[in-house]
């Protein structure tokens, strides 16, 4: 891992909060001219510190504000079943995040749905078609308190 200086870290923090700044605006925020800021940002991108730039959509605007965390236990623990589960989950649009976890469950999914009926349909028809799932446990979010994509460093 290369050594990042204070300016690199400041650029990452600024871009982590809002990636919509122009190079000129970034340069003003870090007190440098645009050329070195452009080079720094390109280096941070090429070295993988910045994975990609995205627009964060508001699920409520699309009537998808019902957030569910679904814990998954696989039927068995072997490579083939694990890989098949991952392949199947990657195809399901309602699943916006998936993590392989330790503890009582194997995976946790973050799911956006319209409402309880939509989530029930999702469980029966989409998760129900994933043959590697042994059991599920759902937790419904009552309110989002914090949602940040920035990393503390």
Could you read off the pLDDT of 77-127 as tens digits, one per residue?
889 999 999 999 999 999 999 999 999 999 999 999 999 999 999 999 999
* For residue 24, pLDDT beyond 80: yes
What's the mean pLDDT in 144-148? 90
- Quote the tokens at residue 18: 């809002």
Rounded CA separation 16/18 (Å):
6
Rounded CA separation 146/144 (Å):
6
- Residue 83 is predicted with a pLDDT of 94
101 conformational bin, left if phi > 0, alpha if psi -120 to 50, beta if neither: beta
* For residue 71, pLDDT beyond 70: yes
Q: Which residues contact 3 (CB under 8 A, 6 or more apart)?
A: none
- Quote the tokens at residue 132: 């590697």
- Residue 147 is predicted with a pLDDT of 87
Please, what are the domains in the chain?
6-46 (1.10.10.10), 59-140 (3.30.70.920)
98-107 LR contacts (CB < 8 Å, sep 24+): 104/71, 104/73, 105/71, 105/72, 105/73, 105/137, 106/72, 106/73, 106/74, 106/77, 106/82, 107/71, 107/72, 107/74
Stated pTM of the model: 0.85
Do the Cβ atoms of 118 and 69 come closer than 8 Å?
A: no
- Residue 1 is predicted with a pLDDT of 52
């Amino acid at each position: 891992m290369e050594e990042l200086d204070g300016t690199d870290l400041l650029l990452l923090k600024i871009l982590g909060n809002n990636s919509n700044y122009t190079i000129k605006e970034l340069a003003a925020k870090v007190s440098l001219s645009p050329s070195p800021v452009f080079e720094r940002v390109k280096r941070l991108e090429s070295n993988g510190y910045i994975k990609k730039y995205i627009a964060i959509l508001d699920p409520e605007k699309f009537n998808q504000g019902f957030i569910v965390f679904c814990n998954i236990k696989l039927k068995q623990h072997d490579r083939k079943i694990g890989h098949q589960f991952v392949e199947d989950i990657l195809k399901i649009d309602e699943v916006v995040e998936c993590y392989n976890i330790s503890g009582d469950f194997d995976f946790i999914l973050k799911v956006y749905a319209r409402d309880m009926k939509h989530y029930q349909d999702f469980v029966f028809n989409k998760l129900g078609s994933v043959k590697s799932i042994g059991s599920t446990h759902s937790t419904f979010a009552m309110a989002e308190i914090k949602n940040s994509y920035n990393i503390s460093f």
